[in-house]
Amino acid sequence: MQVIHLGQKELAERWRMSEATLERWRSDRIGPVFLKIRGRVLYRHVDIEAFEVASLKGTFVEHGNHALLDGPMPTSALVPPAQHTGI
């Protein structure tokens, strides 16, 4: 399995934000985890995607094999799966 990395510039372009914002996030210890190798900052693609998933807000509406974001989260979505009685 090949590990894919993005540099600071590529991630800033992906998220349409400034590189300075990513630098501030690293300083404030927020944002995705990163590697620093010989002074170069790299982000693993898997860590970027994990951060994006963790940043999702709203509810998920089942649509085939895809989950779509749709409106405010109902309280039933907050029940842990083991306790959810379902339909």
Over the stretch 25-70, which tens digit does the pLDDT of each residue have?
999 999 999 999 999 999 999 999 999 999 998 866 665 555 555 5
Token pair in block for residue 48: 């970027």
The burial class, CB within 10 Å (0-12 / 13-18 / 19+), for 43 is: buried
pTM score above 0.75: no
Token pair in block for residue 3: 């590990």
| Alpha-carbon span 58 to 76, nearest angstrom | 13
